Amino acid sequence: MITYIKGTIVEKNPAFVVLENNGIGYLMQISVHTYEALPEKGNCSLYCHVYFREDGQSMLPIIYGFAEPREKEMFLLLISVSGVGANTARMMLSSMNVDDLAAAIYSDNDGVIQKIKGVGPKTAKKIVIELKDKLGKTATSAGKTFVSESNTIKNEALSALAVLGINPKGAEKAIQTALKENNTIHSVEELVKAALKKL
């Protein structure tokens, strides 16, 4: 299975990108958010998922590309819901960023989800019911992040503070305080800076 493709951008628009790798051009379907994250030209890497769609008697492989693994993770969760196809999942990820979509699911806000083109009330409700437990959220308010990403950022911040000679217990407390006061922190650098102010 292909995990990611690294290549040179030959063509891109908000719906797809063509990456050339070793003389082969890979057509990858993308969301608007991934499009905005891509450079205008040059090399880039995209995480990908190969989706097979029935086309008459055969299965047609379609490659979906993602700028970051969290978007791919959400895409896979969405298409695991009965009635949500790959194109609908891509439309959802183009209409809302991963954090906002995850927050809507976790807070039972199917009303926001059903405003997305192609998503009806029943499908929106089903997405919330089936994915809420799978997301496993932290107990923060708006601007939520996946637990896996949050834990990674915290662990890396703890390591950085340890290198700076900060006591582990003090570092842990400072990080928790920083995250409580600012739930929009999404990078190790931001968290380290905020934690240092609490020491």
Calculate the alpha carbon distances from 188 to 146, 153, 185 in Å.
15, 5, 8
Residues 118 and 158 in one domain: no
Residues 59 and 14 in one domain: yes
Sequence-ordered list of residues with C-beta below 8 angstroms from that of 193, at least 6 positions apart, any chain: none
Residues 120 and 87 in one domain: yes
Percent of the chain with pLDDT strictly greater than 90:
49
pLDDT in tens, 14-34: 999 999 999 999 999 999 999
Residues 79 and 122 in one domain: yes
The number of folded domains in the chain is 3
pLDDT in tens, 83-141: 999 999 999 999 998 988 998 998 899 999 999 988 999 999 999 999 988 875 433 33
pLDDT in tens, 34-48: 999 999 899 999 999
Cα–Cα dist 31/44, whole Å: 16
44: containing domain = 4-66
pLDDT in tens, 78-95: 999 999 999 999 999 999
Please report whether residue 141 resides in a domain: no
pTM of model > 0.75: no
Residues 102 and 130 in one domain: yes
Domain CATH code at residue 122 = 1.10.150.20
Number of neighbouring beta carbons within 10 Å of residue 67: 19
Last residue of a domain, one of 48, 66, 84: 66
